[in-house]
Structure 1
Amino acid sequence: MTPDPVGPGQESVWDYPRPPRIEPSTEEIEIRLGGEVIARTRSSYRVLETSHPPSYYLPRDAFGAGVLRPVEGTTFCEWKGQASYFDLVTAGRTASRAAWTYPSPTADFAVIRDHLAVTPGLVDACLVEGELVRAQEGGFYGGWITSRVTGPFKGGPGTLGW
């Protein structure tokens, strides 16, 4: 694997650390589903991990009333702890298990308690500063690909061993 070239104003996911780093973001984040804006904020966190585009964690209060519906099942992240999931619901559409949170994150990720991440490929649109996000390939990861980041990105065929 050879990292893609990095241009002005870009960052390579191959310069992100492992274990991941978390950093605050004041970029405008918007999530759309069923013809509605279901979340918007300028106060989120980016989780940056080697080979992955950033995942954005939005405060729970960035989501509209009635949009979050808890669902059964959890997963475990060696860095962040146990995740719980939500369907995202509007009058026009439901996105099953499209959002997740860490109710009791590890100490290193305590700032994302009461924050949720969204898988961009499961909703109508995610935007960062008005730029439409491309979803990270694969069914497991929830990275947000913008023109700001270069890959290649883990998640597609043949990348699981990275």
Structure 2
Amino acid sequence: MSSHATPVSKTVRIPGPDHPITIERTGSRVVVTLAGQIIAETHDALTLLEAGYPAVLYIPRKDVDMTLLESSSHTTYCPYKGDCTYYSIPSGGERSVNAAWVYENPFDAVAVIKAHLAFYPDRVDAIEVDMGAVVLR
């Protein structure tokens, strides 16, 4: 009897009217902090809006202090974005397990998020977006 696993084909879906995904430059300074440390700081974040989900900020890897993160064995798959890998932040303890994720090779429709990390807001102390001076008239 063979014990070879049959490869599971993964569904690939293209964003559209039934499941829209938009990605835009955030245009503001974004700072992620945990346990008194700046985990990430950037002016180059991307905001991803997907269907009815809350907005997610994706921060370029170059602006994340990767020395504070630890690669996790946890992975997930999104039919719209692809394979996802995770990072934990040891300084945050149990709360910060799998706190950040990245799509290393996202599908073409969302290719711009390649090598950008996102953070779960409840697994870090803060994700601050500095909107600067906003004047409403």
Q: TM-score under structure 1 normalisation?
A: 0.65
Report the Cα offset of residue 28 of structure 1. 1.0
2:42 matches 1:26: no
Unaligned ranges ≥5, structure 2: 1-16, 133-137
Q: Which residue of 1 aligns with 2:118?
A: 117
Is the Cα–Cα contact under 8 Å of residues 55 and 117 in structure 1 kept in the other structure? yes
Q: Which amino acid aligns with 1:114?
A: A
CA distance in structure 1 between the partners assigned to 2:51 and 2:20 by the alignment: 8
Q: Which amino acid aligns with 2:67?
A: G
2:48 matches 1:47: yes
Q: CA RMSD in A?
A: 2.0
CA distance in structure 1 between the partners assigned to 2:71 and 2:77 by the alignment: 17
Segments of 4+ in structure 1 off by > 3 A? none
Report the Cα offset of residue 72 of structure 1. 0.3
Is the Cα–Cα contact under 8 Å of residues 38 and 63 in structure 1 kept in the other structure? yes
Q: Which amino acid aligns with 1:31?
A: V
Report the Cα offset of residue 47 of structure 1. 0.7
Unaligned ranges ≥5, structure 1: 1-15, 132-162
CA distance in structure 2 between the partners assigned to 1:78 and 1:21 by the alignment: 16
Q: Which amino acid aligns with 2:42?
A: T
Is the Cα–Cα contact under 8 Å of residues 84 and 103 in structure 2 kept in the other structure? yes
Report the Cα offset of residue 17 of structure 1. 7.4
More helix by share: 2
Q: Which amino acid aligns with 1:63?
A: V
CA distance in structure 1 between the partners assigned to 2:55 and 2:118 by the alignment: 11
CA distance in structure 1 between the partners assigned to 2:123 and 2:64 by the alignment: 16
Q: Identity of paired residues, percent?
A: 32
> Rg bigger for which structure?
2
Q: TM-score under structure 2 normalisation?
A: 0.76
Q: Which residue of 2 aligns with 1:71?
A: 72
CA distance in structure 2 between the partners assigned to 1:78 and 1:17 by the alignment: 14
Listed one character per residue, the Cα deviations across residues 76-127 of structure 1 (whole Å, up to 9, x for unaligned) are 111111100001234xx34110000001100011111110000010111111
Listed one character per residue, the Cα deviations across residues 6-35 of structure 1 (whole Å, up to 9, x for unaligned) are xxxxxxxxxx97231111222111111011
Q: Which residue of 1 aligns with 2:5?
A: none
CA distance in structure 2 between the partners assigned to 1:89 and 1:24 by the alignment: 29
CA distance in structure 1 between the partners assigned to 2:23 and 2:77 by the alignment: 18
